[in-house]
Amino acid sequence: MENKHRFSEREGCRSLKVLRIVGIAIAGISLAVLFALLFGWVVMLLWNWLVPSIFGLKAITYWQAFGITVLAKIFFSGVHGDAHKADKIHRSVDHRWHRWMGIDDEASLGEGFGRFSHREMKHYRDFWKERGEAAFEEYLRDIGPDNSRNAKED
């Protein structure tokens, strides 16, 4: 009987977590919609205050202001989803990798990886998969117990 009681406690705890996550999601979506609606109102107020007196254009309605906001978003930042963010992250990681490999300029990116060609880079990766740990342990033995090359050379 005790096991059944523990199981139902765990199940209840899980359902509370799920409800909490759903509540947070609904609150987040509600806040995003509220912010978008508020932003449309601010754009309408600013337009109606500035544009008619400066440029002589007509005042606009709320939905026109909201549409202008959406249009500006499309024009100035484009319509792209997570793929654009993933590509940006990928380029950032590539940049750090190339910098670590010693690639100085963009022109050499197509030739290989720094001082290695594409074929050599495959062998380089294979070497580290097969012998990397043993080579590192040998290196540690070479530098001695205090891990200092300078102490060995003195």
Query: In this predicted model, what pLDDT tens digit does every residue of 111-121 receive, in sequence order?
Result: 455 666 767 77
CA pair distance 154, 130, nearest whole angstrom:
34
Q: Confidence band (pLDDT; 50, 70, 90) for 135?
A: confident
* Beta strands, E only, 40-130: 112-113, 116-117
Over residues 103-118, mean pLDDT: 56
65, 95 in Cβ contact below 8 A? no
Q: At what angle do helices 2-55 and 62-77 cross, to 10 degrees?
A: 100
Q: Confidence band (pLDDT; 50, 70, 90) for 145?
A: confident
Examine residue 14 and state whether it is found in any structural domain, yes or no: yes
Q: Is residue 149 predicted with pLDDT exceeding 60? A: no
pTM over 0.75? The answer is: no
Examine residue 8 and state whether it is found in any structural domain, yes or no: yes
Over residues 6-32, mean pLDDT: 82
Range of the domain at 27: 1-79
121, 97 in Cβ contact below 8 A? no
Domains in the chain, number: 1
Phi and psi torsions of 112, nearest 5°: 155, -150
